[in-house]
A = this chain, B = another copy of it.
Amino acid sequence: MNIRLAAAADDEAIWRILESAFRAGETYPIPRDITRHDALAYWRSPGHAVFVAEDRDTIVGTYYLRANNRGGGAHVANCGYVVAPDAMGKGVARAMCSHSIKEARQRGFRAMQFNFVIASNDRAVRLWQSCGFEIAGRLPEAFEHPGLGPVDAYVMVRKL
């Protein structure tokens, strides 16, 4: 697997991956009917460095890296990761997380924080824990899951 900065030509592949996750509405607090334009504008927001993970010639995942806050909070990074549905269970998310930790260190960040890990997303919670993240807080019923109704979300952090 190769992980690199996204180019403009990757937009279609990135959108296919985001589309699947955002339409399902189970892992990100993003409107399920978000348009391609708005989804890409969000993923590529000013201040986001966007990466893609390639397996041979296919893009199987994408993540962004940004400062979680400005001013006195600018030393803490934040990331979002999405894996293509047919590439799940193959270590793509773990590889992207590992890559993002190195990138964040190189950019001088001293910690990383995930603001909204949905508690019903067991796979993600366990994966981030195995990558060194701890649950710093529980947000009760902070997410309205399309199938499960109100579920908690976690704030997860690790030092870099």
Contacts and interface: CB of A to CB of B under 8 A. Distances in A.
Interface string A102-140: 000000001101011010000000000000000011111
A159 to B, nearest CB: 8
Counted per complex, copies of this chain come to 2
Contact of A139 (B25, B32, B157): B157
Interface in A138-160: 138-146, 153, 155, 157, 159
The A contact surface, by secondary structure, is strand
B153 A155 contact: no
A69 B28 CA distance: 10
A156 B102 CA distance: 30
Contact of A29 (B72, B110, B136): B72
B144 A25 contact: no
A94 interface: no
Contact of A111 (B28, B73, B142, B145): B142
A19 to B, nearest CB: 14
A112 to B, nearest CB: 11
20 contacts: A29-B72, A29-B73, A30-B70, A31-B70, A31-B71, A72-B144, A73-B143, A73-B144, A73-B153, A74-B144, A76-B139, A111-B140, A111-B141, A111-B142, A113-B142, A136-B139, A136-B155, A137-B137, A139-B155, A155-B155
